[in-house]
Amino acid sequence: MNIKRFWSKLLIAWLTLTLGLGLLAGCGSPVNSSVDEGALPDGRLSVYASFYTMYDFAVKIGGDQVSVTNMVPAGTEPHDWEPAASDMIGLEKAAVFIYNGAGMEHWAETILGSLQNKELLVVEASKGLPLLHGSLGEEEETAAGREDETEGVDPHVWLSPAVSALCMIADTVDPHVWLSPLNAKAEMENIKNAFVRADPEHAADYEANYARYAAELEALDQEFRETLAALTHREVIVAHQAFGYLCAAYGLKQIPIDGLSPDSEPDPARVAEIIDFAKEHEVKVIFFEELVSPKVAAMIASAVGARTDQLNPLEGLSDEERAAGADYFSVMRQNMEALKAALE
């Protein structure tokens, strides 16, 4: 994955140079000079969101006053996604760019540093939230030997020791803050504040939308508390280490088969440990997610006589889910029901 990132950074640098030259060449054109940066012809704010949840929050807070582009296509897992040239062109004309931060969008800093669009208002939605670190859990760390930390060491030390140290830290931070409803409320507030700044004329609309969804998120938090409080079991085995904030908020214990990014292969010793743990704690369900292969979860489930089910990290919805009207709230309630059935 690190080698992939290295090449992707080279690609981004190349795109930046090419686009930069293209924009410079276009500066003399009278057509370009008449474009009002960030405002669409119908007056709405042009907003770019780095993946589905950021998109959903932006649509909820922005309402009719914004036009939001979800940069990651439906059905695509966002951890290893990279922006294309068309995304760069869109960002050069956008008014607001919303990303989660906390290491979720490894491409964001490179892109932001290279854009010519000096008017772009950048929102790091997770800003101000306390962050958790990726971990294999207190009881499970021993045999697997703190894999999460060694995994984060960037082999490209020759590029720059300082940069490599930063990569290591970034890879161990758990970015999935949005999966706790109260964190989602804080992210929506950051997005609301940005819209008010970018478009003060419609501040009252953004404030009203935020007030409505903040209340809904508080209600959702209360539902989670009431639903999960009385359950017998607290151990949640997940394929992708995305539910740390959700588990921390409601006193559950996440046992990840795999790391913070869902595409790496778990090692056999780790799988054997999980199987022992699941047997010992009579775990009934091994969770996986839609955008990633259920192979390892299914193998563990069959070894311990458990079943598999889905927990959705809201990193991307399929076209079918979108067409059926799914959103943050409906998916979080599905997650709540799945947890309840697994832990009863």
Q: At its nearest, how many Å lie between Zn ion and the CB of residue 32?
A: 38
How many residues bind Zn ion (CB under 5 A)? The answer is 1
Task: Give CA–CA dist 314/59, Å, rounded.
Answer: 15
Report CA 245 to chain centroid distance, whole Å: 12
Q: At its nearest, how many Å lie between Zn ion and the CB of residue 95?
A: 28
Which stretch in 20-28, 36-44, 195-203, 235-243 sits in contact with Zn ion by CB under 5 A? 235-243
Nearest-CB residue to Zn ion?
A: 242
Q: At its nearest, how many Å lie between Zn ion and the CB of residue 77?
A: 8
Nearer to Zn ion, 172 or 209 (CB): 172
Task: Give CA–CA dist 265/271, Å, rounded.
Answer: 10
Tell me the torsion sign for CA atoms 149, 154, 157, 162: negative
Nearer to Zn ion, 206 or 243 (CB): 243
| 342 forms part of the interface with Zn ion (CB under 5 A) | no
Nearer to Zn ion, 115 or 125 (CB): 125
Residue 52 neighbours by CB under 8 Å, 6+ apart: 70, 72, 78, 314, 315, 316, 317
Which stretch in 157-165, 237-245, 284-292, 316-324 sits in contact with Zn ion by CB under 5 A? 237-245
Residues in the chain, overall count:
344
Instruction: Say if residues 49 and 69 touch (Cβ distance below 8 Å).
Output: yes
φ, ψ (nearest 5 deg) of residue 287: -90, 140
What are the beta bridge partners of residue 98?
49, 123
Nearer to Zn ion, 49 or 242 (CB): 242
Task: Give CA–CA dist 311/314, Å, rounded.
Answer: 9
Nearer to Zn ion, 16 or 312 (CB): 312
Interface residue with Zn ion among 121, 242, 247, 285 (CB under 5 A) is: 242
The interface with Zn ion within residues 54-73 (CB under 5 A) comprises none
Nearer to Zn ion, 110 or 264 (CB): 264
Residues that bind Zn ion (CB under 5 A): 242
